Amino acid sequence: MIKVMFICLGNICRSPMAEFIFKDLVRKEGLDKNFEISSAGTSAEEEGNPVYPLARSELERHGISCAGKRAKKYEPSDYANADYILAMEARHVRSILRISGDPAGKVHRLADFTPNPHDIADPWYTRDFPTAYKDIYQGCAAFLEYLKKTLPASSRG
């Protein structure tokens, strides 16, 4: 089982988009039984709230549902229960380091798996949800390719 947790600030836009895009990708590859996939925010501001409507409708435009998701804050105890903690921005990486530390080297920035490492801009401010979707999709696809190259065949189901 590979446990992946996506992280942004509020857990109502980017990290839930990443959670449900990545769930969709692994399901389409028949790998869903190998993964536990979740998301959280470094801030408690939105805790308990559903996915922001424009993020939800962008996912729906791509045939992806995020029904039932509620925002959760990243807690120190989440660290032990993850293999990969994938942040949208460098500042989220710094927040994660303050909250849990990273003794096992689990924390990465999502788009660092792509040929174009970058922070994924916050669509809460840019209002550009299609670009957020594209950037997050590319990061998730590149991360899955990375896993497929590095994991032993025996753990791929």
Beta strands in the chain, from DSSP E residues, in sequence order: 2-8, 35-41, 84-87, 107-109
138 interacts with ligand 4NP by CB under 6 A: no
Helix/strand/coil for 14: helix
Integer Cα distance of 2 and 12 in angstroms: 23
- Select 26 or 55, whichever has its Cβ closest to ligand 4NP: 55
Determine phi and psi for 126, rounding to 5 degrees. Answer: -75, -25
Q: How far is CA 31 from CA 62, 72, 83, 135, 142, in A?
A: 20, 25, 16, 22, 15
Pick one of 4, 5, 13, 86: the residue that binds ligand 4NP (CB under 6 A).
13
Encoded one letter per residue, x for contact with ligand 4NP by CB under 6 A and - for no contact, window 54-93 reads: ----------------------------------------
9 interacts with ligand 4NP by CB under 6 A: yes
Give the interface segment with ligand 4NP, choosing from 2-10, 97-105, 111-119, 134-142 (CB under 6 A): 2-10
8 interacts with ligand 4NP by CB under 6 A: yes
